Amino acid sequence: MSRVFVSADELLAHLRYLGEMLSSESDAFTELEHGLQTAALLATVAPHDSELHIAGLIHDLAHPWDGPGQPKHAVMGADAVRPLLGNRVADLIAGHVPAKRWLVTRDANYRAQLTEDSIMTLAAQGGDMSDAELAWFESLDSWQAMVELRRADDGAKVPGAITPGLDVYETPIRMRASLGTT
């Protein structure tokens, strides 16, 4: 079941719920830990891009709503936060699946680094990009940030990794929500 968040409080409550849910990819960490690791990695590669950190934190927030292979979770997650957090955060979330397909197509070493689960879901997500799809993706405003999010996503699967907690992101989320849709 999909939904749309109407307040930062609602979104933060959902993120806490993800802290009690094991990752769809591993029993060794929670969905929230995966998001926190993604955000922490993005903070090192793009320290001033708060919207990218938020998008990394919440990019898989729709995992509980999607089905096997998670074919729709990126779009569902983007739709859920677009009214609250604006178009760029939503687009970054929507972009993390096409970014995986872009990397698989453009980077010969990338596929070898994917986990078994990630290779399986790739087929459900569309597989390699065609030339037209590559041109479309590279025309998007934030496509390079989407690729950064994807690379962080792939590195954010370390059991027991120590990261900043959810509290670090509460103020940035509330500040972004107060700006409305831009």
CB of 59 to Fe ion, least distance (A): 6
Query: Alpha-carbon distance 101 to 84, whole Å?
Result: 27
Ranges within 62-121 binding Fe ion (CB under 5 A)? none
Are 58 and 15 in contact, with CB atoms under 8 Å apart? Answer: yes
Q: Does 153 bind Fe ion (CB under 5 A)?
A: yes
- Angle at which helix 87-94 crosses helix 143-155, to 10 degrees, equals 60
For Fe ion, which is the closer residue by CB, 30 or 174? 30
CB nearer to Fe ion: give 51 or 60: 60
- Pick one of 60, 66, 91, 148: the residue that binds Fe ion (CB under 5 A): 60
Using alpha carbons, select from 161, 172, 139, 178 the residue that is nearest to residue 40. 161
Q: How far is the CB of 71 from Fe ion (least distance, A)?
A: 14
Alpha helices per DSSP H over 47-130: 50-58, 73-85, 87-94, 96-106, 110-113, 116-124
Nearer to Fe ion by Cβ, of 36 and 85: the residue is 36
Q: Which of residues 12-41 bind Fe ion (CB under 5 A)?
A: none
Binding window for Fe ion (CB under 5 A); candidates: 6-14, 62-70, 125-133, 152-160: 152-160
Closest CA to 64 of 124, 15, 127: 15
Size of the site for Fe ion (CB under 5 A): 2
